[in-house]
Amino acid sequence: METTGAIGVFDSGIGGLSVWRKLKELLPGESTIYVSDSAHAPYGTKTKKYIQDRSEILTRFLLEEGSKIIVVACNTATGAAITKLRQKFDVPFIGVEPAIKPAALASKSGHIGVLATVQTFRGEHFKRTSGLYADRVAVHVQAGTGLVELIECGRIDSPKTRELLHLFLDPMIEAGVDQLVLGCTHYPFLIPLIQEIIPHAITVIDPAPAVALQTKRVLEHNGLLNRFAKDARHDFITSGDAGAMEQFMRQMGWEYPVRAIHTI
């Protein structure tokens, strides 16, 4: 595999851009190809088989486009599909998992909260990781139903988003959680709003920095790190509405064109 290949990134939608921005910060010399599967979002309500099939299609596309490593920037797809992807493709894969371990180790109250999708909670990764720390902390789980759709529409600070966050977070606050794990890559875009709602004593854990660091480690281990690139390229593709994705990215301060490929 060429070191000059790109880091391929895919998500059910635009949420994985929270991971992409950390990859870009940590690995400025690396080119990236980001695929948003917005035409088939959200994944959180889909069957495991459906998510596996979509993940395989997106992986094949990213490899055809010249990716040397694949970041599955979606908690739901990681839980449902990454094991199968690793069996099927001869390329390194990086997944995203709810950060139960650091939350459990840091908790002083003995209570941590996890906000994620239904499919993430059903996944083996979540069950295994939460089981390992069940004797240390009480894990309060909440499905963030409806949040992905609002973020996809750019409604990051809308009355409906605030209403849902209160509905989901208030019981966790009452339960005494002191760590809040964001178990969906869409949710870090809500951190400013979340921090307005929760007490200052609660730490919000964004998985993206750890994913970027692991990606760097795997690139180095496999001799794939591009140490000499001067002109990193960043390509953005969606199976949905390119204009909507461009508008969201401008909202975040990123000026990049987006290609719509509806045949993915």
Q: d(Cα 152, Cα 164) in Å, to the nearest integer?
A: 15
Of 17, 33, 71, 74, the catalytic one is 74
Name the strands in the sheet holding 203-205, side by side, starting at the edge strand that comes first in the sequence: 138-143, 111-116, 179-183, 203-205
Residue among 184, 194, 198, 202 flagged as catalytic:
184
Is 74 catalytic? The answer is: yes
For tokens 């970041």, name the residue: 71
Cβ-Cβ contacts under 8 Å for 7 (sequence gap 6 or more): 23, 27, 30, 31, 32, 33, 67, 68, 69, 71, 215, 219
Residue 153 annotated among the catalytic residues of the structure: no
Dihedral sign from CA coordinates of 61, 65, 69, 75: negative
Residues 22 and 211: beta-carbon distance below 8 Å: yes
Q: How far apart are CA 237 and CA 221, in angstroms?
A: 28
Dist. CA 10–CA 157, nearest whole Å: 25
Q: What are phi and psi of 206, to 5 degrees?
A: -95, 125
Catalytic residues: 74, 184
